[in-house]
């Protein structure tokens, strides 16, 4: 079974953070918040071992970045995910509502360190 079929159920769960952000605010750094991502083996995980950076601007752009450690990866190599490889979108909770984007990437290295980056731009 392909990764696309295994994790499609989580398509709006990747990257959702409990905090919300507003446009035109400075970067917000949150430690220990909840972040959903894929582990190195393709399973959806939710972790609070995180450092989340939310940035946004007055021109309708936002970036969500989540760092996590101790993420399972039994592959023996770094694993890269994005919309093209999974067909999943990344969700960002803004003060004016939830948005999803296909502009995201995630890397899980061999040491179990993971970084998820999601970018959003208003149409």
Chain segment 7-62, per-residue pLDDT in tens: 333 333 455 444 444 444 577 777 777 889 999 999 999 877 666 666 766 677 78
pTM of the entire structure?
0.75
Q: Please count the structural domains in the chain.
A: 1
pLDDT in tens, 48-103: 766 666 676 667 778 888 888 999 999 999 999 999 999 999 988 776 778 899 99
Instruction: Identify the domain containing residue 45 by its residue range.
Output: 3-121
**What does DSSP assign to residue 37?**
E
Alpha-carbon torsion 25, 104, 80, 5, what sign? positive
């Amino acid at each position: 079974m392909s990764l696309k079929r295994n994790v499609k159920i989580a398509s709006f769960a990747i990257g959702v953070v409990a905090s919300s952000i507003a446009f035109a605010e400075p970067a917000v750094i949150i430690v220990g918040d909840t972040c959903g991502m894929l582990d190195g083996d393709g399973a959806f995980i939710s972790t609070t071992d995180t450092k989340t950076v939310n940035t946004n601007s007055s021109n309708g752009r936002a970036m969500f970045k989540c760092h996590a450690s101790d993420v399972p990866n039994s592959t023996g190599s770094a694993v890269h995910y994005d919309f093209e490889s999974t067909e999943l979108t990344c969700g960002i909770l803004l003060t004016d509502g939830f948005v999803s984007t296909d502009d995201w990437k995630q890397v899980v290295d061999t040491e179990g360190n993971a970084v998820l980056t999601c970018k959003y731009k208003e149409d």
